[in-house]
Amino acid sequence: MLILIALLSGALFGLGLVVSGMINPVKVQGFLNLFGDWDPSLALVMGGALAVFAPGYWLWRRQGRRHCVLGTELPRVPAPLIDKRLIAGSALFGIGWGLAGICPGPALGLGASLQWQAGLFIAAMVAGFWLVGHFNKRP
């Protein structure tokens, strides 16, 4: 049941990205172009997502729940740790997002278009995941 809900959640997220046009790299780059022809649509999509999420989260927190709807206990969130790895990773993500106009979620939806740029981005993303896993294993 958990896998089915995860699959449906991912499909709903992907559908939202497609319907809102957020798999289009030009649209995302338009949002990041603050000093040119700025496109606020990504901010509106994020705001809409928060408007749907926030009331339910607020109610859930107010009730003091520690379990999800399926009854699974949710892990405790550790205190935030800002270190060199987080800053470097965030900077790398931001640079890649700005240059390509693609982030991991929309990349998978864009991959279905069979454009070579999407394939290149997904290959680089998988290589990055592998590199992080490889370097995290080192002492």
pLDDT band at 139 (very low <50, low <70, confident <90, very high): low
The predicted-structure confidence for 42-72, as pLDDT tens digits, reads as follows 999 999 999 999 998 888 888 877 787 778 8
pLDDT at 102 over 80: yes
C-alpha–C-alpha distance, residues 99 and 29, integer Å: 8
Burial class (CB in 10 A: 0-12, 13-18, 19+), 57: exposed
pLDDT at 112 over 70: yes
C-alpha–C-alpha distance, residues 68 and 49, integer Å: 19
The predicted-structure confidence for 15-25, as pLDDT tens digits, reads as follows 888 899 888 88
- Show the domain range for 32: 2-137
**Total count of domains within the chain:** 1
Return the amino acid letter for 42.
Answer: L
Structure tokens at 25: 């790299």
